[in-house]
Every structure is written in C-alpha cells, then in structure tokens.
Amino acid sequence: MRFGVRGTLPDPDPVATQEWIDSILAVRDQIGEEEARRLLLSTVGAAKDAGVDIDVVNTAYMNTIHPDSQGTYPGNLDLETRLHGINRWNAMMVVTRGNKYFEGIGGHISTYASTSHAWEVGFNHFFRGKDGAGQGDHLYWQGHASPGIYARAWLEGRLTHEQMEAFRQETAGKGLSSYPHPRLMPDFWEFPTVSMGLGAMTAIHQARFNRYLEDRGLVSTANSRVWYTMGDGESDEPESLSQLSLAGREGLDNIVMTMNCNLQRLDGPVRGNSKIVQELEGRFRGAGWNVIKVLWGSSWDDLFARDANGALAARLDSLVDGDEQRIMTADGATIRNELFNSEELQALVAHLSDEDLVDLCADVGGHDFLKLHAAYAQATAHKGEPTVVLMRTIKGYGLGPAFAGRNTTHQKKKADMESMQYMRDDLGLPFSDEDLEAYPYVMPADVPELVAYAKERRAAMDGFMPSRTVPEFDLTLPEAAAYAEFDEGTKGKMQVSTTMAFVRILRSLMKDKGFGERIVPIIPDEARTFGMDPLFAEFGIYHPEGQLYKPVDHKVLMKYKESAKGQLLEEGINEAGATSTFIASATSYSTHHYPTVPFYTFYSMFGFQRVADLIWSAADQRARGFLMGATSGRTTLNGEGLQHQDGHSLLMAHTNPAVRAWDPAFAYELATIIRHGIDEMYAQDKDVIHYIAVYNENYPMPPKPEGVD
C-alpha cells in the first residue's frame, strides 16, 4: 500500500481513524511539525518491529509542505510575476525568430515554460552568484530550457540584441549556443548538461568534491550549494539516478535537485500507466534523500482543507499519469466529470465554474511562486541529507492549447499566431495582431522597472548567474627532481613497467611541498592491480566520516586507511562516477579558482570505450587533467579475455579534439610527458586533457638521452 493516502484501504472504524488523525494534528499544532514527524516515525518503526507490513517509501500524492508551514513570500510578487512573463515571452521569441529566419535551426520552447517558475524563484531568492564570499553556487540547468536563461540575461544587460538574433548560430563567437556549453560560451555557462543523463551524476560528484576540498582544508566551500534541474523523462537514462546513493550515503546536504515533472518525454507520457512522481519519490527516499513534493498550487489549498474524508487525495493518487496529463489540460466539463467523478467530489467543487476548473488544473505546484519558495527554503535549511524537490509542471505552460501538455509540444520550434495571441492576452502585452507577425521581443528599454528589479535581486544574491570566471594563476610547479627518478634508467637486472613508473612519479608529485596537495588520485577499485596500494596508508583514502572500523589489514604497513582528510578518491567499481569526479577536479580552477590536478587511473578498456560521452563532457567543460589508461595493449592480459585486449583506446582518444593522447614506452618518456602536461595545463593555462597509455609489462628502462626535453 501507499503510506499516507486516506481512503486507499477500507476503513472499518472511521471514528477511531479520525481520533488518531486528530491526535497527531493536535501535536503538530501545539508542539510543532518536527515532534509530529518524530511521533509518526516512531509509531511506524514500532509497527514494523511488530511485523506489520508498512511501505513508507511513498507518501500521498500531495504537497509535502502544509500551507500553514510555507511562510510568507519575501519578494515583490507583482514585479516577479511580470518579470517571469516577459522572460517566457522572450524565450519563445528567441526560438521562433531563429527558425523564422533560418528554417530548421531547431530549439525548444516548451521546456523553459515548464521550469521557469522554479528558476525565477531561484534567481530572485536562492541562487548565489560569485561576487560574494567563496565561489557561490553551482547551477546545472535543464539544457533544453536554455532560451529562458538567455532571455533573462538579455534583460539584465548581459547579452546583446545581436546575440539574441544569433541563437544556435555561433559564428565568430557571437552567437548563443544551443545548450549550456562552456567550450562555446566560456564566460557564461559553467556546466554542460546535454548529453542527457550525465548532468545529475556530475552534479552529485561536484557536490561531493566540494566537500572533499573543504574537509582537506584546501578551499572553503561551506557557502557553495549545487543546484540541478532535470526532467522526469531524463530519469530513464541509467546514469541519471545512478549516484543517488553516494549523495545519501555521504550526507551531501549541499545539493538540491529539482525534478521537473511535467509527465512528458519527447514522444509521450513518461509513465502513462503509473505515476512517475511516486516512482521518483521511492527512488530518492530509498537512497537516503529528503523528498519535498510540490504538486498542487495555492488554488487547491481550500479544496484539500475541506476534503475531510480524503476523497480528493485518494482520487489524485489513483490517477495514472496518462489520464492526469489528459484531464488536467482538458475543458471544464471533462475535468468536472472525470476528475471529480463521485458525488462527494462533485459537491466539493460545486461552487466552481467550468472556467474555474480549467484554471484550477493549470495551477500545479511547479507554477506557484509561494509553493516553490517554501520548498527551496526547506531544502536549503535541511541538514544531513541531500534534498530533491519533485515539482509537478505542465510542459508548454502558458503557451496556449496547442502547446500545453501536448505530446507534440517538444517538437514545436515556432509559435503560431493563435499561441502568440493567447500568451499576449494572458500577459497583457501591448502588441497588435499585426505586430505579432514580426515575432516581437519585449525590449529591455520598454520595461525599466522590471530590469531594475532583476538587477537589484541579483546584486543581493552576489552577482549574475550563470557565470564562469577564470583568474590568472601563478602556481609554483613541481621541481625537476619530482620527475627525475628514472632519468638514469633502471640498474642491473631491475625491470619495471610503465604503470609502476607512473605510480612512483605520482607519489613523488604528491610529496612535493609546494604542489603535492593539489594532486587528486582517482581510482575505480583497481589500485592494487596497478600497484597503487602503498598510497593508501601514506596519503589516506577520502571518506567524510573517516574510518569507523578497524580494517582487516590494520597490522600491515600498507593497510586500507580511510580518512576525512584522505587524498585518494576510491570510487569503487564505477567508471562513470570516477570520471565525474575527474571532471569536478579538472575544472576546480574555474569552479573554485583553486586548480587541482586529477590523475584518474583505470583499465584502459574501461575508459573511452565505456565513458567517452563523459570525457566529451569534460572537454566541453574545459577540463584539465590526466587520464591514465593502465594495462594498455593487445597482448599483456590475454588470459583475462578479449575485454582486456586493448589496441584501440589511443585511436578513440584522438577523436576528442581536447585530448592529447600519448603512448610512452619508457619511464623517462612518461615523466617528460607528465611534466609537459602539468606545464601546459597549469602554467600555460590550456584547457586540454592528457590521455596516457601505461602498460604492465616489466622490462629494463633505458636512461634519458641528452636534450630530449
């Protein structure tokens, strides 16, 4: 059963049920919500201990925050509503004008319409810029909604009219990229979020890396919060939810995810035959996240307050998404007959006209400033767990019947006359029908009061967002001695592999007094294979809780040592997660203005062949770091089978224009390449990645010839 939905199960004793309900409501009213929550959880826990089967993963299909607990809105609602409307109009025009003048250029109108309220609340009251203490918040935007970000930045004076007219036309660096692309717009976008599914895992690892920097005493990240917005349809990408348990396990309360639940993906419903919000709640709650549902707008508060028997809550819970999508965007008569489909429910809305019912169903939680502000306020105040906000939205909200909630809305690249007239009238814009034929913008000069308010709010929030900045660095790079161990070659009968040579060079770099703390070794559970286990005890493996147990090898010199100040990041069998950590470290020069140098070491067959999309994302984000493809080669691990016979990773590396690919045979070559890479990335400030193939075959290493540097 689903926990919390009255009316789902037969009730043989309604009087007793009501006494329990009244009791807990009295505790909430007289002592507080936290005490009511504690009592309920204690009761449920005792029932489970007694063998009562209770599913507490899902709560009712209702708002998490009661209206009495949502507080007051701190902003000017009138100005913010008008500002939000102008941004939605101009976002629609960015795409429509682009496709009018360059047919087929593409773009998306409906996505921003569904997420725009949440971002407006964030812009005005939550998203911290980079002009205050620390480096501000890190924002991962839902990529298809980029036109709305451009529209707001234009009003703020950050983009020119010329740029707005060049959407998806990045010629000579003057246009606007289709999605968030730091490679194309390096002063604007900070994080790429398209390819689909990668944004969530990279956001989680960014939050984790922020905590790593703080715990090691390298950078104060206490004032930095990671915000990520993802569509419900994107959650089907395997990577998208794969790192939820990491965030829950490590208590990353410095990340807030917003799931834009408009119930639609590109072709149709996300879950036509079930409920995606309930499914996501279970996934997140089971992984240790704090879940806040924002499903219904303020217009519903009175109905829920008068829903004494929970009939409305039960009806909403019983609707599968396919029906909800259809009914919520239908005419008033359909809503009355199909949603409020019992005598009790009909009586509940008898005072509402059909037109009122249409307005009611358009008022879902993700389009209500008050509900969203309450959710974000609770999310930022919550400690010990990451938070997800599940907000119910309408794809194509406010764009008229041809867009709102339609299965075809994602493919619409132009606003037709009817949609523009609908939105114009709804927003009260001063355009005639003749004006609309030219697809007009609302010019910043025409709304000075709104422009002033937007700038004022961003000043109060420490600067404009999104923003990416890179200061000039004057780093003291490692001395030549850090690379010199193999300059004379190996002695006598000694033989080493290039993998072992790399580990010794890495240790030497980590011990460098002026630079060593910046080295970030990343391992996907193969350190012993590569001979890196001596680093465990010497430098420690990072874990925010330290080591709460005595390891089985505690008496051994090279014991497994976890520490809150550990330098190594042991990611487990998780190449995608490890690559996400690589990205966070490789971009810390811009995200935190503190360069770190990642050395991500992995089986070469599980690098480009497995996570090439993430490495492309790293290149888009202008990453700087080392990818070490260990156990490379076709013949060195034949006994392991074909999956370990790598003869092509170097070829794949060359397909990425930001990657320098190397295949050193000798230890001195390897040392020279690493030294060159550190100089190129951290002295010359080039945004490149160095992929180096290293092998496990042992042989004598020759001395370094004169003048090869």
Q: What is the pLDDT of residues 617-634, one digit of tens each?
A: 999 999 999 999 998 988
Residue type, 140: Y
% of residues, the chain, pLDDT over 70: 96
Mean pLDDT to the nearest integer, 661-679? 98
Mean pLDDT to the nearest integer, 483-493? 94
User: If phi over 0 gives left and psi between -120 and 50 gives alpha, with beta otherwise, what is residue 473?
Assistant: beta
Q: Report d(CA 553, CA 163) in Å as an integer.
A: 61
366 vs 525: which has the higher pLDDT? 366
Q: Which CA distances in Å does 250 have to 247, 276, 289, 520, 588? A: 5, 26, 11, 19, 21
Contact indicator for 142, 466 with CB cutoff of 8 Å: no
Q: Report d(CA 177, CA 170) in Å as an integer.
A: 6
407 band by pLDDT with thresholds 50, 70 and 90? low
- pLDDT over 70 at 188, yes or no: yes
- pLDDT over 60 at 652, yes or no: yes
Give the tokens for residue 214: 């703080």
138 vs 18: which has the higher pLDDT? 138
Q: Report d(CA 630, CA 627) in Å as an integer.
A: 9
**pLDDT tens-digit profile of 264-296?**
998 899 999 999 999 999 999 999 999 999 999
Q: Mind giving me the DSSP string for 2-50?
A: -TT-TTSS--S-HHHHHHHHHHHHHHHHHT-HHHHHHHHHHHHHHHHHT
- Tell the CATH topology of 77-297+364-460: Rossmann fold (3.40.50)
**For residue 443, how many C-alpha atoms fall within 13 Å in the half-sphere facing its CB?**
6
CATH topology agreement for domains 77-297+364-460 and 480-693: yes
Check residue 10 and give its pLDDT.
Answer: 67
Check residue 463 and give its pLDDT.
Answer: 98
Check residue 4 and give its pLDDT.
Answer: 38
Q: Per CATH, the architecture of 480-693 is what?
A: 3-Layer(aba) Sandwich (3.40)
Q: Report d(CA 129, CA 140) in Å as an integer.
A: 13
Check residue 689 and give its pLDDT.
Answer: 99
- pLDDT over 80 at 404, yes or no: no
104 band by pLDDT with thresholds 50, 70 and 90? confident
Average pLDDT, the chain: 93
**For residue 480, how many C-alpha atoms fall within 13 Å in the half-sphere facing its CB?**
2
Mean pLDDT to the nearest integer, 170-198? 91
Check residue 98 and give its pLDDT.
Answer: 87
Check residue 133 and give its pLDDT.
Answer: 85
Check residue 2 and give its pLDDT.
Answer: 38
698 band by pLDDT with thresholds 50, 70 and 90? very high
408 vs 422: which has the higher pLDDT? 422
- pLDDT over 90 at 656, yes or no: yes
Check residue 169 and give its pLDDT.
Answer: 85
Mean pLDDT to the nearest integer, 540-568? 95
- pLDDT over 70 at 466, yes or no: yes
Check residue 109 and give its pLDDT.
Answer: 86
Check residue 3 and give its pLDDT.
Answer: 37
Tokens 């009501």 locate to 18
- pLDDT over 60 at 409, yes or no: no
- pLDDT over 60 at 311, yes or no: yes
List the chain domain ranges.
Answer: 1-56, 77-297+364-460, 480-693
Burial of residue 114 (CB within 10 Å: 0-12, 13-18, 19+) is buried
